[in-house]
Structure formats: structure tokens, C-alpha cells
Amino acid sequence: MRHTLERMGGHDLAWAMSKTITASDTKKGQSRLLIPKEKGLWDQLSEEEQMELRRRGYVEVEVVDPRGNRHEMKLSQWPAGRNLVLNSGWNDLVRDNKLEAGIHCTLWSFRVGLRLCFALCV
């Protein structure tokens, strides 16, 4: 994973959350990874990203999967509360990496230039 981030020019690597993937995180109809508000990711967002989330409801991000593949996704805010979700491409990452409920994962945030990106490790 480190080599992929270096090739991308990634910087400002920071822990975003750890969690056990739930059945709803892998359910095709849900198409999202829930990032609970208490995980603190909100504080890692720039002012501009926070404003965009409030205005548009999402920020376009890139997610690096455990195999080093890159996925375009949206970091969206759920209307009720400050829970965030990675969606719009999440199902492809789940399928490609054979993710299932019960697998422990760690999500890292980093930046390429000013763009917010994530790396998912299992």
C-alpha cells in the first residue's frame, strides 16, 4: 500500500477509522461504507470540503483498495447527523476484494495535492 501512495504523490497520511465491516456495509442495495460520526473523520476535512458536503451532500474522492487499485467514489454526508459514507463505487471495491461482514478494516486518509483520498486496509 505504501508504494501505491508514494507513486500517487500522497502526503499527510492520517488514521481515519478502524471497524469491523458489517453486513449492511457489503449489502449491494446499501452500496456504502458507513463511517460513524464519532470516528473523527469530519475533523480531517478542509473547510472547503465541509462546505461542499453541506452544500452538495458529497465530495469526490479516490479510494485505494487493499490490492492497490484505485476507485473513484463520493464521500457523502447522511442527512441525519454527521455520519459519513463512502459510496458511488463502493460495491465494485467490495466485489473486487471479496469483502464480507466480519472482516476488520482500517481506513486512512491522505492527500494528493489538495484532493482528499483514502486507503482501505484489511
Domain residue spans of the chain: 2-121
For 2-121, the fitting CATH number among 2.60.120.10, 2.60.40.10, 2.40.40.20, 2.40.330.10 is 2.40.330.10
- Measured in whole angstroms, the distance separating CA 4 from the mean position of its chain's CA atoms is 16
Q: What are phi and psi of 97, to 5 degrees?
A: -110, 5
Read off the pLDDT of residues 48-106 as tens digits, 9 standing for 90 and up.
Answer: 999 999 899 999 999 999 999 999 999 998 877 678 999 999 999 999 999 999 999 99
* Residues 73-77: contacts with CB under 8 Å, at least 24 apart: 75/116, 75/118, 76/32, 77/53
